[in-house]
Amino acid sequence: MRICVFLGSSGGIKPSYGEAAFGFGALLAKRGIGLVYGGGSIGLMGLVADGARAGGGEVIGVIPEALRAREQDHSDLTELHVTRTMHERKALMAEMSDGFVALPGGIGTFEELFEVWTWSQLGYHAKPCALLNINGFYDAMRTFIDHVVAEGFLRPAHRDMLQVHEDPDVLLSAMFPNHPEAQLPWIGRADL
Ligand code: AMP
């Protein structure tokens, strides 16, 4: 199983963002879940890859040729795919992944998240989408999305296609209820 992670090419002002990105990468590795991400070594993007590699996990980077210098390819990836365009990058990332998680980031992160969320609204895929709401970063976006529902531009069922969780273990368990590797360690264990 592989999860595609969207997150900032910047690190944010609080060290806790970086720690959470590194920790999420390490958690994926611990569960034997592969990481698919943008392939860079900068900001939170670099840290999620560092965390997964530190845990011995699979890390697949996908980067458009034109961004290689700016986002600085990570030097320790299992695979690096270089695409011609940004559209090819996003399509390949989506194709190789079983679900999508956004951590804090800027407008690049939002664009990627909103694209996969709208694709699920349209029924183009049935892969789970989730926000890892570190430090309450996405609280203001959730309030706005509730406003969009209240004003009649988004159905509650489509809003709920984007899960929001504060705890990375709970997030993985909720996204993939039928995958043993995504479950909390104590769920389904006969010896406990
Ligand atoms: P940001 O959240 O703005 O730091 O960007 C995070 C990632 O999103 C980086 O890998 C960017 O290359 C990528 N990105 C930026 N703009 C776009 C865009 N218009 N479409 C898709 N991805 C983008």
Question: Which atom in ligand 1 lies closest to the alpha carbon of residue 64?
Answer: 12
Mean pLDDT of 16-44: 97
How does residue 185 score in pLDDT terms, banded at 50, 70 and 90?
A: low
Among 36, 65, 92, 109, which residue has the most ligand 1 atoms within 8 Å of its CB, making it the best to mutate?
109
**For 84-143, how does the pLDDT look when each residue is reduced to its tens digit (9 = 90+)?**
999 999 999 999 999 999 999 999 999 999 999 999 999 999 999 999 999 999 999 999
With a 6 A CB cut-off, is 8 part of the ligand 1 pocket? yes
Question: Which ligand 1 atom is nearest residue 38's CA?
Answer: 10
81 CA to centre of ligand 1 in angstroms: 16
Beta bridge partners of 61: 37, 80
pTM: 0.94
Q: Is the CB of 48 under 6 A from ligand 1?
A: no
pLDDT at 190 over 50: no
Nearest CA-CA partner of 127 in 115, 137, 142, 141? 115
Ligand 1 atom at minimal distance to the Cα of residue 90: 21
Whether ligand 1 lies within 6 angstroms of the CB of 108 is answered as yes
Q: Delineate the domains of the chain, giving CATH numbers in brackets.
A: 15-32+58-91 (no CATH), 126-192 (3.40.50.450)
**Tokens 């991400």 map to which residue?**
37
The answer to whether the CB of 24 falls within 8 A of the CB of 55 is: no
CA 186–ligand 1 middle distance (angstroms):
37
pLDDT 10s digits, 149-165: 999 999 999 999 999 99
**DSSP code of residue 184:** -
The protein residue whose alpha carbon is closest to atom 3 in ligand 1 is 108
* Pairwise CA distance, residues 57 & 71, whole Å: 21
**DSSP code per residue over 35-83:** EEE--B-SHHHHHHHHHHHHTT--EEEEEEGGGHHHHTB-SS-SEEEEE
What is each CA distance from 8 to 42, 124, 148, in whole angstroms? 9, 26, 25
Cβ of 46 closer than 6 Å to ligand 1, yes or no, is no
